Structures are given as C-alpha cells and as structure tokens.
C-alpha cells in the first residue's frame, strides 16, 4: 500500500449542486501534495470527505488504507487536520488547548509531556504557554493549530488553507515545519492560494468546478502548459475551463 490517499470517482452533491465531480486522485506516502483551485472549486469539500466530516454521495476512497465510507473513525485516529478557520478554543490558553487534545487522543502522561515540549518548541510558542489562544496573532494561532493536529503523531496531515491571511515570515516558518514533517515521513495534503508555496510541493492537483483538471509535479505542469510559472498555470487553466464551459453553454 503505497498511497496515503486514493480516491476513485469521488462525488459529493448538495441537493442539485455538484460540489465534487467524480474526483480521482492519488497522494503517495511521504509526499507533500498541493491542492490548488479557485475559491468554491470543491477543495474544502474534498478534504472534508477525506477527513470523515462529510459522507461522499458516490465513489470510493481510502485514507491510509481505511474506507472513507465506513471507517471514518479509524481514519480520524490517524490523521491530523487543520481547517481554514481557527478552530481551537480561544478562551483556553495555549497549554490548555494542547492538554485537551492530548486527552482526546488518549496520550499517556509521559507522551503528553514529551509531545507538548516538542511541539511548543517546534511552533516557537515557548513562553506563551499561559497565553489565551484568542489573544495570539494569526501566525501564532496557525502554528498552535498545527501543534494540536500533530500531538498524536498522525501519519497524514491534512491542511486546509493553513496560511491564509498570515504574514510572509510566519508563512515561511510554517512551511519549513511542513517540509521537516515530510522528511520525517508524514504525508501532507495541503490547499493554498500562494503559488510560491505550491512550487515547493512534490505534487500538485488542480481542481475547478469540482473537476480535477490537471495533476503532476509543479515543473511538469509548467512545461505542459508552456508557461513561465505556476501562477500562469493557475490562470491559464481557469481561463481554458471557463472558455470550455461557455462553449458548452453555447452549443446547448
């Protein structure tokens, strides 16, 4: 089993609206997979299906070898997830948030102590343990959220726009951590709108209107479209798809 995430024809409908349209993708173990696409293209819906937050309407998918339809609780024990919105307790301190999640993931006291020290150091939160999470600035909040998601040493880390609205320095620190985690063998699935971040991913998947339009390494995509950088790949893909859809509308 070499793929951390494998899904085939994964589809999610909300009533009439198709949010994700038969998505097939493979995320190899130990890689950083960048998931790109405009707002509302179905990135978050896909991620939520993989985490077990949403049940797919049709299709198949496995995460770390577990079925997303039936084994979402097994998946939850083994993944770390961070949503685009800060979703830790703002009225708890840094340490209390970590303690809460350590308990929820059933870490014993020795593990808990060790992981807390490691992660506080990794996130650069030393000295801020007693500060309320709500009073941290954006960059710190994201690093705290990442720490909470990593407490139980997940094999797969799923990050939904982790760096949205974060300053460049914090972004750089954040991505250094992500690369370090990948070196340790953790698979990372991450969505982003920053092309400099996407450039450093091992794989890129491009999704628009619920369809996976292109997949490959960043360089492959740049070469395939014959453009200068990823930003142009993004814009070209969106334009092509919009033109194609407009043509279809015209035929109809």
Partner 1 sequence: MRHFVWERYWSVVKKEVIQIKRDRPSLAIALVMPLMLLFLFGYAVNTDVNDIHMAVWNQSPSAASRELVDQFVNTRVFEVAAHVSGYEEIEAMLDDGSVNVALIIGPDYTRKRDRNEPVDVQMLINGSDPNIARTATSQAQLIVQHQAITLQEIKLQKQGLGELEQPLGLDTRVLFNPNMESIVFNIPGLIGLIMQNVTMILTAFSLVREKERGTMEQLIVTPIRPLELMLGKITPYVGVGLFSFCLVLLVGTYWFGVPVKGSISLLVTLSVLFLVTTLLLGIFISTVAKTQLQAMQMAFAFILPSVLLSGFMFPRDSMPLVIQWLGGLVPLTYFLEILRGIFLKGVDIDALWKDVVGMSSFCLLILTVAILRFRKKIE
Can you read off the two tokens belonging to residue 206?
A: 């491009």
Total number of residues that touch partner 1 (CB under 8 A): 33
Kindly indicate which of the ranges 33-41, 76-84, 183-191, 233-241 contains the residues binding partner 1, using the contact rule CB under 8 A. 76-84
Largest CA distance in the chain: 66
Question: Token match 């350590």: residue?
Answer: 102
8 A C-beta contact, residue 5 and residue 155: no
Q: What is the dihedral of CA 17, 18, 20, 21, to 10 degrees?
A: -170
Asked if 18 interacts with partner 1 (CB under 8 A), we say no
Give least dist CB 74 to partner 1, A: 7
Q: Taking CB under 8 A as the rule, does residue 135 contact partner 1?
A: no
Sheet containing 79-82: give its strands across: 79-82, 156-159, 187-191, 32-36, 203-208, 211-216
Among 73, 130, 183, 252, binds partner 1 (CB under 8 A): 73
Query: Are the C-beta atoms of residues 172 and 151 closer than 8 Å to each other?
Result: no
DSSP at 42: S
104 near partner 1, judged by CB under 8 A: yes
Q: Which of 31, 41, 83, 142 binds partner 1 (CB under 8 A)?
A: 83
Applying CB under 8 A, the span of 26-34, 79-87, 121-129, 182-190 interacting with partner 1 comes to 79-87
Span interacting with partner 1, options 28-36, 85-93, 190-198, 235-243, rule CB under 8 A:
85-93
Our CA angle for 5, 10, 12, nearest 5°, is: 125
Of the candidates 43, 48, 115, 141, which one interacts with partner 1 according to CB under 8 A?
48
77 makes contact with partner 1 (CB under 8 A): yes
Which residues of this protein are in contact with partner 1, per CB under 8 A?
48, 51-55, 72-74, 76-77, 79, 81, 83, 85-92, 96, 99-106, 145, 148
């Amino acid at each position: 089993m070499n793929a951390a995430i494998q899904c085939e024809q994964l589809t999610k409908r909300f009533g009439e609206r198709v949010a994700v349209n038969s998505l097939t993708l493979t995320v190899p173990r130990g890689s950083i997979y960048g998931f790109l696409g405009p707002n509302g293209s179905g990135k978050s819906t896909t991620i939520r299906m993989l985490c077990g937050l949403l049940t797919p309407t049709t299709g198949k998918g496995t995460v770390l070898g577990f079925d997303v339809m039936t084994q979402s609780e097994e998946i939850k024990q083994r993944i770390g997830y961070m949503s685009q919105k800060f979703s830790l307790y703002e009225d708890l301190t840094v340490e209390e948030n970590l303690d809460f999640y350590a308990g929820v993931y059933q870490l014993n006291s020795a593990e808990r102590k060790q992981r807390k020290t490691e992660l506080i150091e990794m996130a650069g939160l030393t000295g801020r343990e007693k500060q309320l999470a709500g009073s941290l600035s954006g960059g710190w909040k994201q690093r705290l959220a990442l720490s909470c998601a990593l407490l139980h040493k997940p094999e797969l880390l799923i990050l939904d726009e982790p760096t949205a609205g974060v300053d460049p320095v914090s972004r750089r620190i954040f991505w250094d951590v992500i690369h370090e985690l990948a070196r340790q063998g953790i698979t990372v699935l991450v969505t982003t709108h920053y092309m400099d971040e996407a450039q450093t991913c091992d794989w890129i998947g491009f999704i628009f209107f619920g369809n996976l339009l292109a997949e490959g390494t960043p360089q492959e995509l740049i070469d395939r479209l014959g453009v200068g950088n990823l930003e142009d790949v993004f814009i070209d893909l969106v334009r092509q798809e919009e033109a194609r859809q407009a043509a279809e509308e015209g035929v109809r």
